Structure 1
Amino acid sequence: MMENTQLKIHALSDINHLKVHGRTTGNVAPLTLFWTGSGIELNATGSELWIEFEVAYNHYEPWISILINGVPVSRQMLTAGRYWVCLFRRMNESASKNVRVVKDVQAMGADPGCSMQIHAVKGNGEFMPVPNRPYKLEFIGDSITSGEGAIGAKAESDWIPMWFSAINNYSTITAEALNAEYRILSQSGWGVLSSWDNNPRANIPDYYEQVCGLLTGAKNEALGAFEKNDFDAWQPDVVVVNLGTNDGGAFRSPEWRDESTGETFKQRLNEDGSYMEEDIRAFERAAEHFLVKVRKYNNHAHIVWAYGMLGIPMMPAICRAVDTYVKETGDRKVSVFQLPIMTDETVGARNHPGLLAHQHAAKALTEYIKTILSES
């Protein structure tokens, strides 16, 4: 039988059976992808399928992974411009293929010119319904949840998009094991109260209400990054908060100073190396306030504070913060879970967790979340 090579272009807005993953503005003409793990999913017949990207950046180029029937088959850098990328060719045209295109790289707040958009797809088949998965998970975190170092050799030390992976990532692996849809909100170096280098403005909670508020610049404003997120449109069953690692690092980093205003900030240690009481309490209050905020927008979700892949120095403070929140609010759907600590065997690029570390963490977290879902 001759292959049908006539390809029809479909704007995303014209595709009835399109599933969009990740926080977005809801606009698909075009669709702007902001966060790690965001993307599109289709079930398509036909022998050939292409996707039209529009990409821009000043410093940090996006990377994507392509999955066919749940298996990664391609990973590539997207260069600047507007162009077509082939998702598959010469496959069985009568069979329906599940196709996912996933943004591998986190939102790049340090590059206001960075953007990744999808305009259309073209193929020679039909689009079939994409079944809803039974659960929804939201992951909130830092470089670990961004998958920094989850791909690449252990010797790699460059801070570049190539070493980020949304696929070799405990969040994605956990979601797949639980047959759940998921969203990731993460930023390397950021924390609950401050970043690893004591910048108090680099904290995830301040931007949680927005689509992707940690981005900067007029371009991202025009793309809708600073709009209020529509929480009603997507309510998770479980919210996993994996923050605290960078807050711990701030205690051992130099003072931060804003050269334009003179503002300074520093998490301090006592002479014996312990955390200064006033400062560790500030972290705990920030964690408590974030739990209040997460609960405000996620009415029925169980909140799991998962921590520990790069060590557990902040675990006592996290436990105290969660205990205080539970006592003050009576909210019993909040818990703390210790993730397996990375070892010399499981380390990846940039001294961050590698694939093995993410797999170990996902296995443990999956079993824990199973108990939560079975009780709800």
Structure 2
Amino acid sequence: MCLKINRCWVFVWLCICATTAHSETYVPADNDQYLYTGRIDFSDIKAPSLSWPGTSIKANFTGEHLEVVLDDQNGKNFFNVIIDGNDRFPYVLEAKQGEHRYLISSALSKGKHSVEIYKRTEGEEGATLFKGLWLADDSYLLKPPKRPKRRIEIYGDSITSGMGNEGADNGADHLGSEKNNYLAYGAITARNLNAELHTISQSGIGVMVSWFPFIMPQFYNQLSAVGNNDSIWDFKQWTPHVVVINLMQNDSWLIDREKRLTPIPADAQRIAHYQAFVQSIRAEYPKAQIICALGSMDATANEKWPNYVREAVKNMQDNGDNKIDTIFFEYIGYGQHPRVAQHNANADKLTKFIKKKMKW
């Protein structure tokens, strides 16, 4: 008798579990209540592809349950999943290769919530397809957050990506788990100014030479950040008010220290290459305020490389460009990628500069 009763209870328990497992609401990626930010490939609207650092999806929703569905190319990407604006303690999602459901929480308070899914890593970790959310039964998406009116775009290298910024001061800084674009100076600045941000960056990239076979002038106009490819971004789709360009750190290493370019370019050639890239950005955004930056690694340890930037900007100003300026982030003597504290200091400086320049 006891055995029969136990089997009955097991059967009932299994039925309850099966019912619970299916009592959820799926919200696919093409739902118009999602707010997407960044250069995102929507060629498949049910599986938009996120590759650039800082690309994100925001949504407001109801209910106590939240799962995220991602299909990751290489299993190397990390995301911040920020619930109800609590970005001090995000859920750090380590994506596995292929399509998976990730349980974020099944114990949220009843009522309304917000979520932001933010790509911490960059194109070198690969692309990730966003497939949608699973919510509690009878839950749904609410009206999305408002898109900020101010717009900033930033072009950079590992500093801008946030390489190693969460690493220990005395530790390595190459781990994907410690690369957090959310806490990079550009992203912090954008939040300080309530601005939408597009980040176009790649660790190791330069204007004349990189640690790999392509350079920023070959890369900056891509829709996909995964290596050097044939995808094309439509610059008319989104126009920034401010463009920040923070490049030449890798050029300084690879030309002066590693001697990777033969023949070694003369000073005038270095200025000309940098100026040509900045002019290509100006051609896309005739009315934007361009801020040519450098730092805060050792390219600003002396005035040599900052002076190349100054000369290129002066040449453009002399030719009638009155919406271009410079800013430099101080080298503090730390020999690795800047950590979060330095990113915060750089963001404070950049925030004040943009506020004054744009009257924001």
CA contact (8 A) 1:64 1:77 kept: yes
Aligned match of 1:230 = 234
Q: 1:326: Cα distance to partner?
A: 2.0
Q: 1:202: Cα distance to partner?
A: 3.0
5 Å-filtered alignment, 1:175-186, equals 175-186=190-201
User: Once the two structures are superposed, what CA deviation does each residue of 1:15-65 show, in whole Å capped at 9, x if it has no partner?
Assistant: 1111112212233320111111112111122221211111132xx711111
SS in 1 for 2:80: strand
SS in 1 for 2:123: coil
User: Once the two structures are superposed, what CA deviation does each residue of 1:134-169 show, in whole Å capped at 9, x if it has no partner?
Assistant: 211111101101101101212332633122111221
Distance in 1 (CA, whole Å) between partners of 2:96 and 2:133 is 18
Unmatched 5+ stretches in structure 1: 217-224, 257-264, 269-277
Aligned match of 1:271 = none
Aligned match of 2:262 = 266
Task: Say if 2:129 is the partner of 1:117.
Answer: yes
Distance in 1 (CA, whole Å) between partners of 2:259 and 2:354 is 38
Distance in 1 (CA, whole Å) between partners of 2:339 and 2:251 is 21
Aligned match of 1:261 = none
Greater helix proportion: 2
Q: Which AA in structure 1 matches 2:121?
A: V
SS in 1 for 2:32: coil
Q: 1:4: Cα distance to partner?
A: 12
Task: Say if 2:338 is the partner of 1:325.
Answer: no
Q: Which AA in structure 1 matches 2:233?
A: N
Task: Say if 2:67 is the partner of 1:40.
Answer: no
CA contact (8 A) 2:73 2:127 kept: yes
Distance in 1 (CA, whole Å) between partners of 2:171 and 2:182 is 19
5 Å-filtered alignment, 1:288-367, equals 288-311=275-298, 312=300, 313-328=304-319, 330-344=320-334, 351-367=336-352
Q: 1:117: Cα distance to partner?
A: 1.0
Q: 1:266: Cα distance to partner?
A: 3.4
User: Once the two structures are superposed, what CA deviation does each residue of 1:319-339 show, in whole Å capped at 9, x if it has no partner?
Assistant: 0011112222x1111100112
Taking structure 1 as reference, are residues 90 and 361 closer, same or farther at Cα in structure 2, changes over 3 Å only? same
**Bigger CA radius of gyration:** 2
Q: 1:130: Cα distance to partner?
A: 1.6
Q: 1:187: Cα distance to partner?
A: 1.1
Q: 1:254: Cα distance to partner?
A: 3.4
Taking structure 1 as reference, are residues 249 and 54 closer, same or farther at Cα in structure 2, changes over 3 Å only? same
Q: 1:253: Cα distance to partner?
A: 3.3
Name which of 109, 119, 122 aligns with 1:103: 119
CA contact (8 A) 1:207 1:214 kept: no
Taking structure 1 as reference, are residues 71 and 226 closer, same or farther at Cα in structure 2, changes over 3 Å only? farther
CA contact (8 A) 2:34 2:58 kept: yes
Name which of 2, 15, 25 aligns with 2:41: 25
Aligned match of 2:249 = 245
Q: Which AA in structure 2 matches 1:334?
A: I
Taking structure 1 as reference, are residues 267 and 365 closer, same or farther at Cα in structure 2, changes over 3 Å only? farther
Taking structure 1 as reference, are residues 334 and 54 closer, same or farther at Cα in structure 2, changes over 3 Å only? same
Number of aligned residue pairs: give it: 331
SS in 2 for 1:167: helix
Aligned match of 2:266 = 279
Distance in 2 (CA, whole Å) between partners of 1:98 and 1:186 is 28
Higher mean alpha-carbon deviation, 145-154 vs 65-74, is at 65-74
CA contact (8 A) 2:173 2:337 kept: no
SS in 2 for 1:9: strand
CA contact (8 A) 1:173 1:359 kept: yes
Distance in 1 (CA, whole Å) between partners of 2:269 and 2:224 is 25
Distance in 2 (CA, whole Å) between partners of 1:43 and 1:230 is 28
Name which of 63, 77, 83 aligns with 1:62: 77
Distance in 2 (CA, whole Å) between partners of 1:76 and 1:164 is 13
5 Å-filtered alignment, 1:49-198, equals 49-57=66-74, 61-72=76-87, 73-95=90-112, 97-108=113-124, 114-124=126-136, 125-127=139-141, 128-157=143-172, 159-195=174-210
Give the percent of matched residue pairs that are identical in Structure 1 and Structure 2. 23
Q: Which AA in structure 2 matches 1:206?
A: Q
Distance in 1 (CA, whole Å) between partners of 2:22 and 2:328 is 52
SS in 2 for 1:252: helix
Q: Which AA in structure 1 matches 2:310?
A: C
CA contact (8 A) 1:250 1:266 kept: no
Distance in 1 (CA, whole Å) between partners of 2:167 and 2:215 is 27
